Amino acid sequence: MKTFTIQQINDVIKGELLSNTTQLITGPEQLEQAGESQITFIGHKKYAKSWDTCKACAVIINADIELTPIDNKAIIKVKNADVAMAMVLEMFVEEGPVFDTAIHPTATIHATATIGEGCQIGAGCYIGKNVVLGKGVTLYPNVTILDETSIGAATTIWSGSVIREKCVIGAYCIIHPNATIGADGFGFRPSPDGRGLIKIPHIGNVVIGNGVEIGANSCVDRGKFSATTIGDGCKIDNLVQIGHNSKMGRCCIMAGSSGLAGSVTLGDGVIVGGGACISDHVTLGNGVQVGGQSGVINNFSDGAKVLGYPAIDSRDALKQWVILRKLVKESKSHNYS
Of 209, 258, 294, residue with least CA distance to 304? 294
Measured in residues, the chain has a length of: 337
Residues 160-189 that bind a second copy (CB under 8 A): 160-162, 164-165, 174, 176-180, 183-184, 186-189
For the CB of residue 132, give the shortest distance to a second copy in the complex, in Å.
15
Please tell me what DSSP assigns to residue 103.
B
Residues 109-138 that bind a second copy (CB under 8 A): 110, 122-124, 126, 128-129
Q: How far apart are CA 101 and CA 125, in angstroms?
A: 14
For the CB of residue 137, give the shortest distance to a second copy in the complex, in Å.
18
Measured from the CB atom, the residue of 3 and 117 that comes closer to a second copy is 3
For the CB of residue 62, give the shortest distance to a second copy in the complex, in Å.
15
Q: How far apart are CA 149 and CA 162, in angstroms?
A: 11
Q: Does 159 bind a second copy (CB under 8 A)?
A: yes
Whether the ω angle into residue 201 lies within 30 degrees of 0, i.e. cis, is no
Measured from the CB atom, the residue of 69 and 303 that comes closer to a second copy is 303
Span near a second copy by CB under 8 A; candidates 5-13, 16-24, 63-71, 201-209: 201-209
Question: Contact with a second copy (CB under 8 A): which of 93, 333, 336, 337?
Answer: 93
Burial (Cβ within 10 Å: 0-12, 13-18, ≥19) of residue 281: middle
3-state secondary structure of 206: strand
Active-site residue, 244 included: yes
Strand-pair category, 205-208 with 132-133: unpaired
Residues 53-92 that bind a second copy (CB under 8 A): 82-83, 86, 89-90, 92
Span near a second copy by CB under 8 A; candidates 4-12, 15-23, 58-66, 290-298: 290-298
For the CB of residue 71, give the shortest distance to a second copy in the complex, in Å.
25
Long-range contacts from 280-284, C-beta under 8 angstroms, 24+ separation: 280/243
- Angle of helix 6-13 versus helix 81-92 axis, rounded to 10: 120
Measured from the CB atom, the residue of 71 and 113 that comes closer to a second copy is 113
Question: Contact with a second copy (CB under 8 A): which of 146, 151, 270, 282?
Answer: 146
Of 243, 242, 268, 239, residue with least CA distance to 255? 239
Residues 211-240 that bind a second copy (CB under 8 A): 211, 213, 215-219, 221, 224-226, 233, 235, 237-239
**Which residues are tagged catalytic?**
244
